[in-house]
Amino acid sequence: MSISGFFPIWDKLNPAERETLESAAQPRFVKKGTLVYNGSSDCIGLFVIRSGQLRAYILSDEGREVTIYRLFERDICLFSASCMMSSIQFEIAIEAEKDTELWVIPSAVYKSLMEHSAVIANYTNEIMASRFSEVMWLIEQIMWKSFDKRLAAFLLEESVLEESDALKITHEKIANHMGTAREVVTRMLNYFQSEDMIVLTRGEIEIKDRKRLEKLSQ
Amino acid sequence: MSISGFFPIWDKLNPAERETLESAAQPRFVKKGTLVYNGSSDCIGLFVIRSGQLRAYILSDEGREVTIYRLFERDICLFSASCMMSSIQFEIAIEAEKDTELWVIPSAVYKSLMEHSAVIANYTNEIMASRFSEVMWLIEQIMWKSFDKRLAAFLLEESVLEESDALKITHEKIANHMGTAREVVTRMLNYFQSEDMIVLTRGEIEIKDRKRLEKLSQ
């Protein structure tokens, strides 16, 4: 399979640019749970997601995490190629949340294409703007939405991603997504259970009253 | 005065691009306190700051604010031209914190330049990446730094910007910068005063023990 179908701007590229992208793109398969990119390590390259699901997050000195955004089929991740741009002054880590197929386009190749092509540079701009928008949304959530609302929204989102009402996720993992402590998550989940919105069993959270969770999350 | 000195990429532009930028740039002077840009209003254009100081912030439905970044001499603001890119899906407001001279480059003009020039598109990318880095820094602060540290850092930063130990700023304004309630700010300032780090007088906060504030902020 070619990456051509994963670049909406493909039709606007010249034959040389297409050839460069196609021959540089390295297919990779990563198992669920793999740390695909670690901010402090090398600048691997652009990720183009063919299938699966990745999670981009930041890490505090004390090891706490916050999920910044997720990447799904057809998404492109720039920040795994952060050395492309000197102004990217932050580090993220990326892990596979599901078995994932992706292409890696080496940073130097993409940087050179971008420097010579306004089409590619502008497309890159749009990708960055869309991640920027996700991060601005996250700031609004953190600043202005109380934790119960955020947690309700998170459970509903997970349920869509997993296509199930029974979520196999630990309290620790939820805490890592939301940038809080496990105890805080457990306390709120216990409250949700006492209100009959969910049922907690070993290693699983089952959504019982979707409507109330939705109302709470809004 | 020409905007040429405010674009580091000027030497890489062709004569037509320079001419377009120079003739499109509209000089503007805004008094301290002016709301220069309001997310919900039109998409005015790129701001190029000649002198002064602007503050970009977001606003909650309830009217609470958080400062996202500040703009100083030579900075360029893209998000006042957010209609340039369809992927910019958030709104900011911008106000003048000091009397400010700036140029406005209409969004349509800049968009057209960017679409045809890889140099301009890549420069725009760098600007966005540097704002993105500021926003990521802010998330880390909000998530992982306690409020006393953030407030100490804020007072020190203000003192640098105002070149004074005596800060003429209300508790309400500080709350708007930091995305919290006025009471929270007042309580922490009272604590700082009780620890002899600052002195509070009507409409003024005087820094008394810079070293301890610096230590606290780290």
Q: The pTM is what? A: 0.86
Q: Does B64 touch chain A (CB under 8 A)?
A: yes
Q: How confident is the model at residue B195 (pLDDT cuts 50, 70, 90)?
A: confident
Asked if the model's pLDDT at residue B9 lies above 80, the reply is yes
**How far is Cα A174 from Cα A202, in angstroms, rounded to an integer?**
15
Residue A118: list chain B partners with CB under 8 A: 114-118, 120-121
Fold of B3-143: Jelly Rolls (2.60.120)
Neighbours of B1 (CB within 10 A): 9
Most confident of A58-72, B82-96, B115-129, B178-192: B115-129
Q: Are B139 and A89 inside 8 Å of each other by CB? A: no
Q: Are B129 and A87 inside 8 Å of each other by CB? A: yes
HEC readout, chain A: CCHHHHCCCHHHCCHHHHHHHHHHCEEEEECCCCEEEECCCCCCEEEEEEECEEEEEEECCCCCEEEEEEEECCCEECHHHHHHCCCCCCCCEEEECCCEEEEEEEHHHHHHHHHHCHHHHHHHHHHHHHHHHHHHHHHHHHHHCCHHHHHHHHHHHHHHHHCCCEECCCHHHHHHHHCCCHHHHHHHHHHHHHCCCEEEECCEEEECCHHHHHHHHC
pLDDT of res. A202: 85
Q: How confident is the model at residue B181 (pLDDT cuts 50, 70, 90)?
A: confident
Q: How confident is the model at residue B41 (pLDDT cuts 50, 70, 90)?
A: low
Q: Are B64 and A126 inside 8 Å of each other by CB? A: no
Task: Identify the CATH number of the domain defined by range A144-217.
Answer: 1.10.10.10
Q: Are B133 and A64 inside 8 Å of each other by CB? A: no
Nearest to B87 among A66, A130, A142 (CB): A130
Q: Are A139 and B139 inside 8 Å of each other by CB? A: yes
Widest CA span in chain B:
62
Nearest to A139 among B61, B126, B138 (CB): B138
Q: Does B137 touch chain A (CB under 8 A)?
A: yes
Q: Are A132 and B136 inside 8 Å of each other by CB? A: no
- B91, B40 in Cβ contact below 8 A? yes
Answer with the residue of higher pLDDT: B143 or B40.
B143
pLDDT of res. B95: 96
Residue A62: list chain B partners with CB under 8 A: 144
Answer with the residue of higher pLDDT: A54 or B40.
A54
Fold of A3-135: Jelly Rolls (2.60.120)
Q: How far is B100 from chain A (nearest CA, A)?
A: 25
Asked if the model's pLDDT at residue B203 lies above 80, the reply is yes
- Pick one of 3.40.50.2300, 2.40.50.140, 1.10.10.10, 3.90.870.10 as the CATH number of B145-217: 1.10.10.10
Q: How far is B17 from chain A (nearest CA, A)?
A: 14
ipTM: 0.85
pLDDT of res. A40: 66
Q: Which of B69, B88, B127 best tests the A interface by mutation, with the highest count of A CBs <10 A?
A: B88
**What is the average per-residue pLDDT within B112-137?**
95
- pLDDT by residue, tens only, chain A of 218 residues: 789 999 999 999 999 999 999 999 999 999 999 999 998 667 899 999 999 999 999 988 888 889 999 999 999 999 999 989 989 988 899 999 999 999 999 999 999 999 999 999 999 999 999 999 999 989 988 888 889 999 999 999 999 999 999 999 999 999 999 988 888 899 899 989 988 999 999 889 999 999 999 999 98
Nearest to B144 among A64, A121, A126 (CB): A64
Q: Are A132 and B90 inside 8 Å of each other by CB? A: yes
- Find the closest chain A residue to B139 by CA distance: A139
Tell me the per-residue pLDDT of A57-88, one tens digit each, with 9 for 90 and over: 998 888 888 999 999 999 999 999 998 998 99
Answer with the residue of higher pLDDT: B34 or B2.
B34
User: Letter for the amino acid at A93?
Assistant: A
Residue A121: list chain B partners with CB under 8 A: 118, 121-122, 124-125
**How far is Cα A82 from Cα A46, in angstroms, rounded to an integer?**
9
**How far is Cα B177 from Cα B116, in angstroms, rounded to an integer?**
38
Q: Are B115 and A118 inside 8 Å of each other by CB? A: yes
Q: What is the mean pLDDT of chain B?
A: 93
Closest CA to A122 of A5, A1, A7: A7
Closest CA to B31 of B100, B104, B103, B77: B100
Q: Domain residue spans in chain B?
A: 3-143, 145-217
First-to-final CA distance of chain B: 41
